Amino acid sequence: MPTPLPLLPGQLIDGRPVMLGVLGGGQLGRMFVHAAQALGYETVVLDPDRHSPAGRISHHFIEADYRDADALRELAARAAAITTEFENVPAEALAELARARPVAPAAGAVAIAQDRIREKAHFARCAERSGVAPAPYAVIESEADLADVPADLLPGILKTARLGYDGKGQARVATRGELAAAWRGMGGVACVLEQLLPLALECSVIVARGRDGQVVALPVQRNLHRGGILSVTEVYEGNVPRALASQAQAATVDIANQLGYVGVLCVEYFVLQDGRLVVNEMAPRPHNSGHYTVDACDASQFDLQVRTLAGLPLPQPRQHSAAIMLNLLGDLWFDAAGAPRTVPWPDVLALPGAHLHLYGKTEARRGRKMGHLTFTGPDAASVRERALAAAALLGIEAF
């Protein structure tokens, strides 16, 4: 039978502290494990990589594929409740686990986030209430769909419906010929073509929703992507216009409510040059743009993930410091000629307000997320000055 909730800090089950499970052993799982352990929970991680960042620090680690039936049974036997740290975990694995244990987020919500076609349909339905719609788009699943694409969707961005992240599975196309070539180059899989819009900036909102329907929202994050990967997140008063921030938060709450979502959810938005807000995509988990919350808020996105999973109260988080986060990719571990280099951490850590988080990955590779660096301070100006100084030391392009 499913575990009764709430699961309380310090609670014992069969003489042992409550154990919380997570599918996925990456950096998001690692930070979930830290947050769970801080509240006194034990943790178990399932991941196919024996050197996974979360698996290396968890009380128990199951090295297995996410579809391994025996491993899923062991996870359900050990964990009183289970979450996931990445959106491409098989939804059917979550559904199987939910037969025995509370699982958040639910398989149905994750399945929608895994499929851009279903995701955009959900956004379009929510837009009837919130007024925040996705970019104009067309679904392409066949040669006939190619021929029927409206002319006003070009130029556009072609995206695979499934398994796309960090800019992967995407191509910019300006003509019907480029569109056809790109779609065939992607193997003719189901895709979405989005109209290319004039962007002013990008932002995201993270909410946490409990099983009782209570929702809390974190501040709006202003994001800068480079090469399809998040590079910089800025969070302070005035990072986006106040009315726009309120609209984005309200739209995100509505998206979560209409899903009946339980857990931490991030929704990414475009702000157009004319000031309109457009919803882009969602991630059914904590998000790279929310890492600043560990150092700048009284409850981090990972604290909220633990609370929603365990059925604990959700007080409104408070941001106590202005913050700028720099993503640290494996490129920083190499010089311009491609030779390994020593990253100047002593100089970076000499800057006031620096909080370095490395994820315990044993091999640096270009484009691989190795850690993040958050600067906090009393105001945006001082935080920006120090973050720019760190970027110069590290060889990160100014922003």
Which residues define the annotated binding site for ATP? 116, 159, 164-170, 194-197, 202, 225, 280-281
Extract the annotated binding site: 116, 159, 164-170, 194-197, 202, 225, 280-281
Decide: 219 and 292 in contact? Cβ < 8 Å.
no
Q: What is the CA radius of gyration of the chain?
A: 21
Q: How far is CA 303 from the centre of its chain?
A: 15
Write the burial class of residue 121 (CB in 10 Å: 0-12 exposed, 13-18 middle, 19+ buried). middle
Nearest residue to 87 (alpha-carbon basis) of 52, 53, 113 = 113
Which amino acid belongs to residue 115? Answer: D
Paired tokens of 109:
């919500």
Nearest residue to 301 (alpha-carbon basis) of 233, 229, 386 = 233
* CA-to-CA separations, 367 to 2, 28, 168, 170, in angstroms, rounded: 40, 17, 12, 16
Sole residue written with tokens 């994050």: 221
Interior/surface letters 141-172, b for 16+ CB within 10 angstroms, e for the rest: eeeeebeebeeebbebbbbbbeebeeeebbbe
Paired tokens of 175:
């003509």
